[in-house]
Amino acid sequence: MRSELYFQSSPWWLLLCLAVGAAYAFALYQRNSGWSQRMNLSLAAFRFLVVSTVCFLLLNPLIRSTQTITEKPKVVLAIDNSESMMVGGRPQLDRALEAANQLRERLTSDDIDVSVQTLGDSLVAGDLKTIPFNQRTTDLSNLLGGIRNAYEGRNLTDVVLISDGIANQGLSPTFGRYNFALHTVGVGDTISKRDIQLKDAVANKIAYLGNQFPIQADVVSYGFQGRSGTVVLRQNGKELSRQTVNFSQAETFQQLTFQAFSNQKGMQHYVVEVLPQDGEFTPRNNRRDVYIDIIDGKEKILLLALSPHPDVKALRSIIEKNQNYELDIRILNGGTAEIPDKVYDLVILHQLPDNQNAGAAVVQRVMQKNTPLLFILGTQSGLQSFNGLNPVVQVVAGGGQTDKVTGRFNPDFRQLNLDAQKLTLLDRLPPMLVPFGDYKLSPGSEVVLWQQVGSVRTSKPLLAINITTPRKAAVLAGEGFWEWRLEEFALTDNQAVVDELIQKVMQLVSIKEDRRKLRVYPIRNEFLAGEKVTFETEMYNDIYEKLFDRPVRLEITNERAVPRSFNYTPTGSNSRFEVSNLPEGVYRFRATASLNGRTETASGEFIVREQQFEAINTTADHMMLRQLAQQTGGRFYNASTLASLADDLVKNKPPGRLSSNEELNELINLRWLFFLIVILISAEWGLRKYHGAY
């Protein structure tokens, strides 16, 4: 390390500092008969040094320190520790790892830093043969990209990738750019195996109780030409259906479709399996699991309109986009309408109640139940009756006058996750017809859209909701939003903004409020085998304040009705609970806790999926490894020639890289100067006191 002193002012000021120190010492220590001349000179020297040093520090000099470091060249051994590496057998893999151990020892002895990196960002310091090859996916691009980022700015010269070249996650590593030479070591067998694979099994995630639904299976065979196989569909160990597939060529791809029937509610587990053949390489890739949520009916919506109107058709198009909705449309005929005897989740009243009270009886029938409502006003709406029925807004108008307004999004509305930038499109849409008059919001109501007349912004609501009352309700105070959809399509070739706005308002109004005191739920509906299943816990008192430190009993049951029980206590700092080592399948859970003197329960279900990525492709891809090495200036090796890699790396060993670190600091920040001044002052004071002076 080298240090240099810099002055921020003229160095001639240093002479003044010395003069001040000398003058101070001379004035204080003229000849004194109390002690010897030698002692007097010593005390004067102490005072001279202290005062001169303090004056010098007041000049605020700087000190520049330069440190030069020699950084050794670095080599990283990147090892693909996925399950597919075990296909060729552990003995073959151990031979490659033993050669890699020798490579590491050889490079270390030649003054090269060597580190080992595996999938999952884990570092290995000991014997490489202790690495467990248990990763269920292979993302070589992420592995190499992580090494590049971790060693950025360091003297990384070479990376040695030991892999079978099978990448089933992320981008192909050949698309990456690397600032180091990448040498690849190929392991595994590049010859295709005689095998039958179930590449995929596809089905809808949701089906409805009592309906049929398809399950599609993709079957691939290698080397079984002239033979046939059997594909079976099972549920809970019971065979539901089977089909025969013929392998006409050496490599065959076929699609089969099974029709299943949903007769049980909840998450259902189906298994599609190709029965193993004699001589097949592995049966691990012959099976696929399919999980389908069977729900009992859709959310039911009643659209009740005074008369035919383009808005009715627009609403129908919006609602039918969501397969979870079931829509009934009823148009009044002579003031009456046949309403099915159903329990509806939402009722939409288009221009009802009307100004002639023709539909009063029908509206009264709808209002008998506490069903959420969406009112859509128009030129035929009866505002006096409307004011008495809705809890959202009161409209005082007279003479049947109307106004043409556009919508302006209220940025203070936070109940829905709406994109304010997208909703600026409303400024370019045709105006709606709304009743002209005074609008007064009811307590608890929130405005989604304000009315805007031309370029004039008003404080009148165009779309408002109230979800604080026993009956949730929303009001769209105008007709003609069918023109919004047409104009949006003309401008953007889609109808996403208007449709999303209406859909989300209907969902917010119709959603059933969760008033449970105990809520236990997994953070996701699906987990992967080997992953921890995490539960979130919420507990409330009678006024819905959060509670903690209450014991919870959690019981998890698998498809065979085998229970596992757990006890835990959520706290304010940790309200989660984790369960490990659950095999794949459908699980149902039930949680109980004693809150406020009562036993509260929560239940639900989740899925644990088995990953089979490593079993789908078992043929090593050394061609990709050769291409990767060629792109980065490296070379391709196999396990038997790995010793020559050490010779090549040592022969082409780059020199260590010199790097310097320069720091510029104020001299006054050096601690040793402070202690030096304290020591000098203490020594002077001690000598004076010892000789009888103060």
- Find out whether the peptide bond into 353 is cis, omega within 30 degrees of 0: yes
Are 187 and 88 in contact by the 8 Å Cβ rule? The answer is yes
Rounded to two decimals, what is the model's pTM?
0.57
Other beta carbons within 10 angstroms of residue 107's beta carbon come to: 23
Q: Is pLDDT above 70 for 162?
A: yes
pLDDT band at 31 (very low <50, low <70, confident <90, very high): low
Using one digit for the tens of pLDDT, what is the confidence trace for 92-135? 888 888 888 888 888 888 888 888 888 876 667 778 888 888 88
CA angle 635, 637, 642 (to 5 degrees): 120
What's residue 661's pLDDT? Answer: 74
What's residue 338's pLDDT? Answer: 82
- DSSP reduced 3-state for 42: helix
Strand partners, 289: 271
**Coil, strand or helix: which one is 532?**
coil
Q: What's the mean per-residue pLDDT of the chain? A: 87
Q: How are strands ordered across the β-sheet holding 598-609?
A: 526-528, 598-609, 585-595, 552-557, 563-568
pLDDT band at 34 (very low <50, low <70, confident <90, very high): low
- pLDDT tens digits for 369-427? 889 999 999 999 999 999 999 999 999 987 788 999 999 999 999 888 888 899 999 99
pLDDT at 49: 87
Give the containing element (helix H, strand E) for 218: strand 212-222
State the pLDDT at residue 441: 95
pLDDT tens-digit series, residues 570-579: 998 999 999 9
Give the pLDDT of residue 502.
93
Between 136-140, 177-181, 684-688, the lowest mean confidence (pLDDT) is in 684-688
pLDDT band at 693 (very low <50, low <70, confident <90, very high): low
How high is the pLDDT of residue 33? 54
The model's pLDDT over 651-689, given as tens digits with 9 standing for 90+, comes to 877 777 766 677 778 888 888 888 888 888 888 888 777
Q: Which two tokens stand for residue 94?
A: 């151990």
Determine the Cα–Cα distance for residues 576 and 545; give it in Å rounded to an integer. 18
CA distance 435 to 477: 7
Q: Give the pLDDT mean for 585-613.
A: 90
**Alpha carbons within 13 A on the beta-carbon side of 437:** 18
What domains are defined for the chain? 3-68+663-691 (no CATH), 73-191+619-652 (3.40.50.410), 195-295 (2.60.40.10), 299-510 (3.40.50), 518-609 (2.60.40.1930)
Q: Which range (273-282, 552-561, 582-591) has the least confidence? A: 273-282
pLDDT for res 658: 67
pLDDT confidence bin for 613, thresholds 50/70/90: confident
Q: Is 70 exceeded by the pLDDT of residue 631?
A: yes
pLDDT at position 534 = 94
> Residue 137 carries which DSSP code?
S
Percent of the chain exceeding pLDDT 70 equals 97
Closest Cα partner for 609 from 588, 584, 587, 582? 584
Residues 128, 671: Cα–Cα separation, whole Å: 48
CA distances from 288 to 260, 610, 616 (A): 15, 9, 11
What's residue 414's pLDDT?
87
Asked whether 478 and 379 are in contact (CB, 8 A), the reply is no
Cβ-count burial 175-184 (b if 16+ within 10 Å, e if not) = ebebebbbbb
Would you say 419 and 501 are in contact if contact means Cβ atoms under 8 Å apart? no
Q: Which of 392, 377, 390 is nearest to 436 (CA)?
A: 377
Give the pLDDT score at 424: 92
Query: At 84, phi and psi to the nearest 5?
Result: -65, -20
Q: According to the model, what pLDDT value does residue 677 have? A: 85
Q: Is the pLDDT of residue 32 over 70?
A: no
When mean pLDDT is compared over 515-529, 552-566, 613-627, the highest value belongs to 552-566
Comparing 8-12, 404-408, 473-477, 593-597, the range with the smallest average pLDDT is 8-12
* pLDDT tens track for 72-84: 888 899 999 888 8
